[in-house]
Structure formats: structure tokens, C-alpha cells
Homo-oligomer: A and B are copies of this chain.
Amino acid sequence: MKQRSALDMYANGTAWWDTSISDIKKNEIIIRGYPVEELIGNISYTQMLYLLLCGEILSEKKAKLLESVLVAGADHGPRAPSIAAARMAATCGISFNSCVATGINVLGDVHGGAVEQAMRLFYSTESLLDAHPEQSVSSVVKKQFERFQREGKKLPGFGHQLHDHDPRVKRLYELAQQLVKEGEIQGCYLMIAEEYRLQLERWKQKNITMNIDGVAAAIQCELSIPAEAAKGIFALSRGMGIVAHAFEELQNGVLIKGPCPNRDDLVHYSGPLKRHLEKK
């Protein structure tokens, strides 16, 4: 992020809010140049998202692949913090959109955010490959992997608290490979991700599979989606589950619902024993 001041840019003639995304006038809504009424009913949700974000219309096949990623991430049950926070919010008498926002607000670097980190890694690895055409994918990846090891950093895109054969991963990988076969996407990021998997597997001396963040990242790189937008895209994916769960909780009619019942193994006070203020 370049460090610039909005006041300086305005003083130099840039409009305070300058955008290439949309132009709104009386009875006219232009999205990246297209009159919105020409888009409605003619492009999909995913194509609209991509158009807004990246400025172009994604082909139907590529759009369906991105749509698969959104569908895959939509829900992970009431124990996911994003879902639980939204469910509790729905019992507290706030506006329903605010219940959804409460859930989306927690989808940070540690809860869905690994996609962004994996994308950064894949993009930078691809740049290195571009810069060093004489080196093989596996040797470039090996060097990057070893750097991660030295820096004590965890490789994003592998491992999961629950699943070691995540049903979503195999399916997304399959759909992606089909598009490589059909020449719709290049496949270089999928290849890079696979190389990292192999490196990690050799190092850990056991089977390693990519996780949902890793395969989503590889696919989004294939589609030239910017890494910094990844947490926003996941917000619209998990947002579906958040909407559904918050609504279900609202229907229950329970008020002020906390995270769990009041039982000793669930909530415990380990602070100071009872004490009193000193007399002044």
C-alpha cells in the first residue's frame, strides 16, 4: 500500500471518490461500462462478482469453476466461529444484516484467510518461475519451501483441524483439472500447489493432502483473482451459510443465547479468590 494522502490527491485534481467500477445517474446504472439491465438475467452471480472486482466478463466455464469454490465454502456447521457468532447475534435483537456482518467480521487470516496467504505464495512462486525459466518447477518450489522451514512458517494450504480427506478438495481439484484438459485454464498454479504438496510430503514422511484453502487458492490464481481480495470472496461464500444459520436461530425464538450451557467443564473461573478493596 503506497502511503498517500487523500487530501494531496484531491488537491492535484483527482476526485475524492474515483472509481472504475460503476457510474450512477438518474435512471442509469453502468457497471464497468455495461448498463445493468443488460447484465440482469444474462450473467451469473459469479460473473457479476468477477466483473465488479476484475473488470471483465469471465467465460461460462471459468465462472462455473469459481462458483464451485463459492459453493464449497458456504457452510461448516454451527461450531465454526463465523456461524456461531451470527447465530448468537440473531438472538440479541439487532438488524438481520448486522447478524450476517457479525459472522463475516471474524473471517480473518486464521478463519478462511489462509486462501490469501496461499495465493500470495503461488503468485510469487510463479513470478520466480517466470524470472528463471531455466529452473524446474520442483527446484524453485523446493527453495521456497526450505525458506518457509528456516523462517519457522507454516505452509498455507495444507492440513486441517478436522478433515484429512476433505470431500470438497477432491471434487474441486477434479473440476479444475477438467478445465485444464479443455484448455480453459493453464494449470500452472495447480501444478505449483501440487509441487508444494510433494515437498511437504517428503519432509513430513507421510501422506499430505491439500486443504480447501490450498485448492481454492490455486483455482483463484488460475482465474487471475487478486490475492488481497480472497477474504472478501470467502465472505460471500461463507456468507451463504451465515445467512441460513442466523435465520434458523432467529426462528427458534430463543433470546440472548450464549455459546454453551453453564457447566463446569465448559465455563470455569480461574481468577483470584474473593477479595476486597482496601479502605481508602
Contact = CB atoms under 8 A, between A and B. Distances in A.
A214 B191 CA distance: 47
Interface in A221-255: 226, 228-236, 239-248, 250, 252-255
Interface string A159-182: 001111111101110110000000
A257 to B, nearest CB: 4
B231 A22 contact: no
A210 interface: no
Given A41-B175, A78-B19, A260-B17, A107 B102 contact: no
A23 to B, nearest CB: 4
Complex copy number for this chain: 4
A106 B84 contact: no
A141 B239 CA distance: 36
Interface in A244-280: 244-248, 250, 252-262, 264-277
Interface in A39-92: 39-46, 48-49, 52-53, 55, 57, 64, 67-68, 70-72, 74-82, 84-85, 87-89, 91-92
A37 interface: yes
A268 to B, nearest CB: 3
Nearest to A165: B27
B34 A275 contact: yes
A100 interface: yes
Given A80-B258, A267-B16, A270-B19, A98 B87 contact: no
A23 B267 CA distance: 9
Given A88-B106, A97-B234, A268-B19, A30 B260 contact: no
Given A105-B97, A274-B30, A261 B10 contact: yes
B76 A22 contact: yes
> Which of A70, A89, A95 is the most central at the interface, judged by chain B CB atoms within 10 Å of its CB?
A95
Contacts of A41: 64, 68, 71, 171-172, 174-175
A138 to B, nearest CB: 28
Given A9-B254, A78-B267, A98-B108, 13 more contacts: A6-B91, A29-B167, A36-B171, A41-B64, A41-B175, A52-B240, A81-B259, A89-B105, A91-B110, A95-B98, A96-B229, A96-B231, A101-B105
18 contacts: A5-B254, A15-B268, A16-B265, A19-B271, A22-B75, A22-B78, A24-B162, A35-B167, A39-B71, A40-B171, A41-B68, A80-B258, A84-B84, A89-B105, A91-B111, A92-B111, A96-B230, A233-B243
Shortest 10 CB-CB contacts between residues of A and residues of B: A259-B259, A93-B109, A33-B272, A15-B268, A93-B110, A2-B253, A94-B108, A20-B271, A52-B244, A23-B269
